Amino acid sequence: MQRRLFIVIGIVLAILAVVGVAVVLLNQGGGIVSPPSPSEPAEGAPTPEVIPTVEVIVARQPIARGGEFPPGSLGRITYPETQRPPNAITNEAETIGQIAKIEIAPGQIILRDYLRPKTAGPSGEAAFETPAGHVLVAFPIDRQSSVAYAVQTGDFVDVLMTVSFVDLDPEFQTVLPNKFSFITTEPIIIGEEVVGTQISIDPSKATDEGRLSIENEDFPGFEFPAEAQRPRRVAQLTVQKAKVVKVGSWLPEPTPAPIEEGAPPPTPAAPDIVSLAVTPQDALVLLWARQTKARMELALRAAGDENADHSTEAVTLQYMLTRFSIAVPPRLEFAIDKSEEPAPTPTPLPPPPPSQ
């Protein structure tokens, strides 16, 4: 009985202890509280400004000049709308079919000014108009070599070339014939006695460019060419499938002067140069030909024939004689008497002006 009384008293004391602790905590502001609700601005306080933002496209990896934008190369960052750079793109789709006009570093915001269509027309940017694997070279033209100025931007042309050959002295590397002078010996006389001989070089102009002829032993002499050596010319199709990137200069055209009222419009100046896209090896061919003063002309390819490979045979005098069956006339002992040719018909005089 006494034992149960002690148990009840213990339980009551425990309950009283718990209640006391709770009262102390409440008086001190402790205890479990619910999360604070968003505070509302005090009456009359200004409402905080919300800054609008926008997502812009940035590079996640280096993009080379002229390179494309592969998947995964672009990302997004949030930027204040009011501080967004001009022309910054906000959609990756804007880079489809585009290439970089400049070298772009990782983290750099992509601007529309950095983009250029992959298949754009002439824009004045020569490097972007040159096909991959080719170089751009300047080629001088006139009315004859430009197919009567028919060559236009975007055309494909072949280069016709003629080269003339002459005979050289293999040691001197000079055009034949050589000049020639005799080497003779002369006696050395002291007083009336011959004491020896000396070598003398006769720089006689009579033997310059001559050839010793001893066919007639009684009257030996020198033969001379009647004219300079005739070069041996050959023509061939050389550089093929060169793309005409631009006709004329890349510099902007000057502003024309104002035309006076009633005056005829000025005649546009004919271009004197074109830019050709060729392989690096063909660029060396054109450089060599121009510096050796070879004659070059352009041949315009037909539309749709841009990729054809043409095989041609070099044209020489012998080729012309053989292909067209041109007979070399024999040397005869007679000729046509020009005195028997009919007299030319006189040109009629213009009629006199009408009398006043």
Q: What is the pLDDT of residues 216-230, one digit of tens each?
A: 566 666 666 767 888
Return the structure tokens found at 135. 């170089």
Q: Is 310 helix (H, G, I), strand (E, B) or coil?
A: coil
Q: Where are the domains of the chain?
A: 53-120, 126-166+231-251+270-308, 169-230
How far apart, in whole angstroms, are the C-alpha atoms of residue 93 and residue 95?
5
Is the pTM higher than 0.85? The answer reads no
How far apart, in whole angstroms, are the C-alpha atoms of residue 1 and residue 349?
169
Question: What pLDDT is recorded for position 35?
Answer: 41
Question: What pLDDT is recorded for position 87?
Answer: 87
Return the structure tokens found at 100. 């970089």
185: buried, middle or exposed (CB in 10 Å: 19+, 13-18, 0-12)? exposed
Report whether 72 contacts 57 (CB < 8 A).
no
Q: What residue type is assigned to position 289 of the chain? A: A
Question: What pLDDT is recorded for position 22?
Answer: 45
Kind of pairing between the strands at 98-100 and 74-80: unpaired
For 53-120, CATH number out of 3.30.450.30, 3.40.50.300, 3.40.50.1970, 3.90.1210.10 equals 3.90.1210.10
Report whether 127 contacts 77 (CB < 8 A).
no
Q: What percent of the chain has pLDDT over 70?
A: 71
The DSSP line for 263-278 is PPPPPPPPP-EEEEEE
CA distances from 110 to 34, 52, 55, 61, 67 (A): 47, 20, 12, 12, 14
pLDDT in tens, 94-127: 888 888 888 889 988 889 888 888 765 555 578 8
Lowest-pLDDT range, 51-55, 158-162, 204-208, 327-331? Answer: 204-208
Could you check whether the bond before residue 177 is cis, i.e. omega within 30 degrees of 0?
yes
Question: What pLDDT is recorded for position 218?
Answer: 62
Predicted confidence (pLDDT) at residue 153 exceeds the cutoff of 80: yes
pLDDT band at 322 (very low <50, low <70, confident <90, very high): very high
Return the structure tokens found at 181. 């002078």
How far apart, in whole angstroms, are the C-alpha atoms of residue 323 and residue 314?
12
pLDDT in tens, 255-299: 777 777 777 877 778 999 999 999 999 999 999 999 999 999 999
| Cα first-last separation, the chain | 170
- Mean pLDDT score across all residues of the chain: 79
Question: What pLDDT is recorded for position 229?
Answer: 84
How far apart, in whole angstroms, are the C-alpha atoms of residue 128 and residue 119?
9
Report whether 79 contacts 57 (CB < 8 A).
no
Return the structure tokens found at 199. 């070598």
Question: What pLDDT is recorded for position 217?
Answer: 61
Question: What pLDDT is recorded for position 37?
Answer: 52
Predicted confidence (pLDDT) at residue 184 exceeds the cutoff of 60: yes
Report whether 273 contacts 139 (CB < 8 A).
yes
pLDDT band at 193 (very low <50, low <70, confident <90, very high): confident
Predicted confidence (pLDDT) at residue 83 exceeds the cutoff of 70: yes
